[in-house]
Structure 1
Amino acid sequence: MTDLQHQAHAGSFGAVAAEYDKARPSYPPRLFEEIERLAGRPLRGADVLDVGAGTGIATRLLAERGARVIAVEPSGGMAAQLHAVSPGIPVVKGVGDELPCHDESADLITYAQAFHWTDPDKSIPEAIRVLRPGGALVLFWNLKDRSVDWLGEQERRHAAALPSYHYYGTMNAVTEPLSRYPLDVFGAKVRWERTITVDDVITDLRSKSYFAVAEPELRESVLADDRAWLLGLFPDGRVVEPYTVDLTVAVKPR
């Protein structure tokens, strides 16, 4: 993906914020237990920056576990949706490459489904600057299990139909830059699944950047084909989606 394409994809979410909030997957409780274990501290009472917070799917879960969370989000559309759903969570405009925060002001910096939109050569030093000693940079992604036949076939269908289709799969290429910095890096994987309707699958797809940037006629054609194909596979309209959450925790030395 070129820099211009990357920018177009990164800027596409504001227009699909409602779809994003409605149909994107949440995160299982065990993920937050793993974050606490690898970071070596409880979320309760922690000062957390949730960067690229989007509509606040992960932000709300962090707050529910007792963290003092500030959402950092560059998109006005996404931030407006977050505020509408969770007016008690403070939101500031900003990006991970240039955090609007004081030095050593956070215990945890989290990126849920968002770190791949940053420039690691900027966002990692920024995280180190803002984290307190012993604090942690926490990166996680919900990844669909593409080894499941229908999900693998769906990926092939989208790759063939959409010029800008991309699937990040493993995050190794994204998290590898962490090794260049004085951080103690740990990882874990958390498996879970959700059951949703075919309509929710389509809504979720609308929130993907490679659908959001597609020409409307092409987008609607691919989504209509997907709906018919999914109903052929799942006549009752109920779909089980298996996920693995890929978690990386990088701790700043004390």
Structure 2
Amino acid sequence: MRKRPRIFDTSWTEFTGGGQNYDRFQPSYPSEVAKLISQHIRRAGLVGGIADVGSGTGIFTRVLANELNGMVPIIGVEPNLDMMQVAMEAMPSDLQVSFQNATAEQLPFQDVSLSAIVSATAAHRFDRKKFFGEVVRTVQRGGIIALVRNRHRYWDSEALTEFHSFIEGCVPEYRRGTVTTKDGGYSDVNFRSELLEDHRFSDVRAQTWEWDFETKLRHFIMTGLSTSIVQRCAEVTGPSKVVRFLQDLFRRHSIDGSLKATVCNRDDLRNCVRWVTRQIESINAPCHAACSCVHTVTLPAEFHPILSLALLSGSGAAGPCERRLLAALRHSAAPDPVGMWR
């Protein structure tokens, strides 16, 4: 009988023990995303705090805090205590950021107290019907909700096509383009459609950013191993097989020891950064504008940053799976594959 990945009590339990590697190896986000939020806050004259819901280890929280530079308080909201601990340790002391342990479906804020709610690569795991209700309850008139997501551009990359084919072979429920749901399964998610169908939000728009990146073998492998989907594969096939696959994939697609890729703009709404604004004031950004943002980041493959904005109308130790993956990597035949552990 084929082994299946573990079932977790909640959609965030599987991140326990993996925060340090997640924070170190997962990609960040274009500063342009934070600038758009900052510009709207300034233009609307809002003074409430901004909540980064599902803030994880604070990767996007730091981008946002650096851009806002103390303009309003920023609160990271994270249900996983291990991830939140990493976020607090990684946050520079001069940034005006605090953290609270809570869920997206029950936010710890008073009514109409926030200027904005943001969520980066997390909202797909929420019960979004309840979450959107909390947004309406807590965000001030004229405030915004911003949903951000880095998305693999598997349609442009042979390496990514192979990567997702391998994942599909390990986890039959998974299909490329799908994301983890609140129930632990996989499904297509279209934030734009959901927000369009909700009468409390309006004026849905879209924009894309360009990313350019280069990654070396060690970082490439660790970026993959720090993701929940690769860890699920390891539970099914064994850690050694996963590590060998990543090593082989890199060697076949890299040039001079680096895996390079350029991400091109796409104007179709399905694959771009999404916006939603509230009825009171529309964010003046054309739907098909492409704001180029070239970053050097370390990724397993091409990513596409995805955002949804909406105004309101009217710690530590690695978990068991991660420890097995790290052990497999240490015993692999790759030249110096584990220097980053030391």
Shorter-chain TM range is 0.7 to 0.9
Among 53, 65, 74, which residue is 1:69 paired with?
A: 74
Paired residue secondary structure (2:64): helix
Aligned residues with identical type, % of pairs: 24
Q: C-alpha distance in 1, partners of 2:142/2:175?
A: 35
Question: Which aligned pairs between 1:1-254 and structure 2 lie closer than 5 A?
Answer: 5=7, 7=9, 10-36=12-38, 41=43, 47-66=49-68, 67-86=72-91, 88=93, 89-147=97-155, 148-163=157-172, 165=174, 167-168=176-177, 172-178=189-195, 179-184=197-202, 185-213=204-232, 214-215=234-235, 218-240=238-260, 241-254=301-314
Scaled by the length of structure 2, the TM-score of the pair is 0.66
Q: 70-79 or 189-198, which moves further after superposition?
A: 189-198
TM-superposed CA distance for 1:211, in Å, is 2.6
Contact preservation (8 Å) 1:23, 1:204 = yes
* 1:116-173 deviation line (CA, Å, top 9, x unaligned): 0101110001011010000111001011211222111211122113456454459753
Contact preservation (8 Å) 1:161, 1:222 = no
Contact preservation (8 Å) 1:83, 1:91 = yes
Q: Please give the root-mean-square deviation of Cα atoms over the aligned residues, in Å.
A: 2.7
TM-superposed CA distance for 1:24, in Å, is 0.7
Change (3 A) 1:149 1:249: same
What is the letter of the counterpart of residue 81 of structure 1?
A: V
Q: 117-126 or 223-232, which moves further after superposition?
A: 223-232
Structure number with bigger Rg: 2
Higher helix share: 1
Paired residue secondary structure (1:110): strand
- Give the gaps of 5 or more residues in structure 1: none
Change (3 A) 1:81 1:186: same
Change (3 A) 1:37 1:64: closer
TM-superposed CA distance for 1:34, in Å, is 3.7
Q: 114-123 or 211-220, which moves further after superposition?
A: 211-220
TM-superposed CA distance for 1:186, in Å, is 3.0
| Number of equivalences | 251
